[in-house]
Amino acid sequence: MHYLYLAVIAAVVLGVIVGFAAPDVAKELKPLGTGFVNLIKMMISPIIFCTIVLGIGSVAKAAKVGKVGLLALGYFLGMSTLALAIGLVVGNVLHPGEGLSLDPAAAGKAQEQATGSEGSVDFLLGIIPDTLVSAFTSGQVLQTLLVALLAGFALQKLGSKGEPIRRGVEHVQRWVFRILAMIMWAAPVGAFGAIAAVVGETGWEALRSLAVIMLGFYATCLVFVFVVLGAVLWFGARVNLFSLLRYLGREFLLILSTSSSESALPRLIAKMEHLGVSKPVVGITVPTGYSFNLDGTAIYLTMATLFIATAQGQPLPVGEQISLLLFMIIASKGAAGVSGAGIATLAGGLQAHKPELVDGVGFILGIDRFMSEARALTNFAGNAVATVLIGSWTGEFNREQAGRVFAGASPFNEATLLDEAEPAPAESEKEVAAVR
């Protein structure tokens, strides 16, 4: 993925150069971006189906463990909503994409094609597919969502008898994401065509708008982590955020190099247990958080949606913003850390609510790789904070062990990722006294 990342950067730079040097030629390159977007749209239905079905299974399993699971899910819901609200506020203040007017003729044509069933009754009936499998071939995301919800709850009712089906869906999800990973290798070509075409049409205005959304997104993530998460961690568990982030320094570097928080999942589980959070709490909170505690993704989807809508001259009213983004947050569950899942979720939400805006995904693709690091780092920080908080609230957090870890008296075993032996109570008291 390192080569892909570098290739996308090079493609963006080359697209900008071509856009300025030969604007007429650059405009003709738009089909490259459109083709890549169509490949992503092709994967939307299977991705949403698998992630929603498995996501419902995760909720059911988390709820069964009682206090810890319910507390974790409640916290995840609250923080995702808060991240969504912060992203909405920042996006509506910055107005990213303002003045671009990306291909309004094509947007108008798509608008005409999309206005076939405007009534609420027709809209609701349109959610029901003709057959169980036609939802996957019609391109109607809401139909796929309905089938996924029915399949997920039916699987939940089957109990242990449905375990083979659940494992089968997991295998299908891995297969689908592997296909998506293959498609993502075409990202440099798509990014080159999309950026070149937009720069050829709008010039410096395009670069200015891209800079606004990128800087705004990074600033919003920094504020969320250091102000919101820092305050919640201190007042909720009396733990210093900077100490926790320093302890997880290697994991942050790993995520920064791979642009995926999934790469650090095993290490986060091991390090949280070493920090003093009990195994049951870590085992429930971390995997569930990777599917349901997507603070960075919430901020990204918010700002990217507002950018695309404004850039195409169709700014969304606040009510429509909230309904669209809530759909995206639901649809993104279970896809955390997968390269390309953010773009697929963004395209899926737009396709379901405002199909005329989907073509704008090709433009945001050019800077998606730049934003993926901040998205993954924010998601990871949110899950680390959540694990400590849930452990503290349930009395399953060993503060003495955390003190030793933060003081450097109990280093993490990088070779095995495991604690070879638990210290005896007397030894623990001596170590604590020495640290103090």
The set of residues, in sequence order, having a beta carbon less than 8 Å from that of 95 and lying 6+ positions away, is 306, 310
Architecture in CATH of 2-413? Orthogonal Bundle (1.10)
* Helix axes 361-393 and 279-292, enclosed angle (nearest 10): 160
Estimate the share of the chain in helix, then strand, then coil, as percent rounded to the nearest 5: 80, 0, 20
Dihedral sign for Cα atoms in the order 44, 47, 50, 52: negative
pLDDT of 55 > 70? The answer is no
What digits encode the pLDDT tens for the residues 373-422? 788 889 899 999 999 999 999 888 899 998 998 988 888 766 555 554 44
Residues of the chain above pLDDT 70, percent: 72
CA angle 309, 315, 320 (to 5 degrees): 95
What region does 50 belong to: left with phi over 0, alpha with psi -120 to 50, or beta?
A: alpha
pLDDT at site 225: 94
What digits encode the pLDDT tens for the residues 312-339? 777 778 777 777 777 766 665 544 444 4
- 396: Cα within 13 Å, side-chain hemisphere: 19
DSSP string, 89-116: HHHHHH-TTTT----HHHHHHHHHHHTT
- Indicate the residue type of 188: P
In this structure, what token pair is assigned to residue 330?
Answer: 């639901």
Mean per-residue pLDDT of the chain = 75
Average pLDDT of the segment spanning 59-68: 59
Phi, psi of 397 (to 5 degrees): -125, 120
Contact 361, 40 (CB under 8 A): yes
Helix, strand, or coil (residue 409): coil
Average pLDDT of the segment spanning 145-154: 82
pLDDT of 99 > 70? The answer is no
> What is the rounded end-to-end Cα distance, in angstroms, of the chain?
45
Average pLDDT of the segment spanning 90-118: 53
**How would you class 39 by CB atoms within 10 Å of its CB: exposed for 0-12, middle for 13-18, buried for 19 or more?**
middle
Confidence of residue 4 (pLDDT cuts 50, 70, 90): low
What digits encode the pLDDT tens for the residues 228-284? 999 999 999 899 999 999 999 888 876 775 556 766 777 788 888 889 988 778 877
Contact 100, 311 (CB under 8 A): yes
Q: pLDDT: is 393 or 145 the higher one? A: 393
Dihedral sign for Cα atoms in the order 121, 123, 129, 130: positive
Q: Is the pTM of this model over 0.75?
A: no
The set of residues, in sequence order, having a beta carbon less than 8 Å from that of 43 and lying 6+ positions away, is 176, 179, 180, 183, 344
Contact 198, 206 (CB under 8 A): yes
pLDDT at site 426: 39
pLDDT at site 384: 93
Q: Can you tell me the distance from the alpha carbon of 341 to that of 332, in angstroms, rounded to the nearest whole number?
A: 8
pLDDT of 202 > 70? The answer is no
pLDDT of 349 > 60? The answer is yes
pLDDT at site 330: 67
pLDDT at site 228: 94
Q: Which of 58-62, 216-220, 260-264, 294-298 has the highest mean pLDDT?
A: 216-220
Q: Can you tell me the distance from the alpha carbon of 377 to that of 337, in angstroms, rounded to the nearest whole number?
A: 10
In this structure, what token pair is assigned to residue 377?
Answer: 């780092």
In this structure, what token pair is assigned to residue 412?
Answer: 């993490």
DSSP assigned state of 420: S
CA 225 to chain centre: 15
Return the biggest CA–CA distance within the chain: 77
pLDDT of 366 > 50? The answer is yes
Q: Can you tell me the distance from the alpha carbon of 202 to that of 205, in angstroms, rounded to the nearest whole number?
A: 6
pLDDT at site 429: 41
What digits encode the pLDDT tens for the residues 205-226? 666 777 788 888 899 999 999 9
pLDDT at site 350: 76
- Indicate the residue type of 378: T
- 20: Cα within 13 Å, side-chain hemisphere: 9
pLDDT at site 222: 93
Confidence of residue 301 (pLDDT cuts 50, 70, 90): confident
pLDDT at site 415: 55
Average pLDDT of the segment spanning 11-33: 80
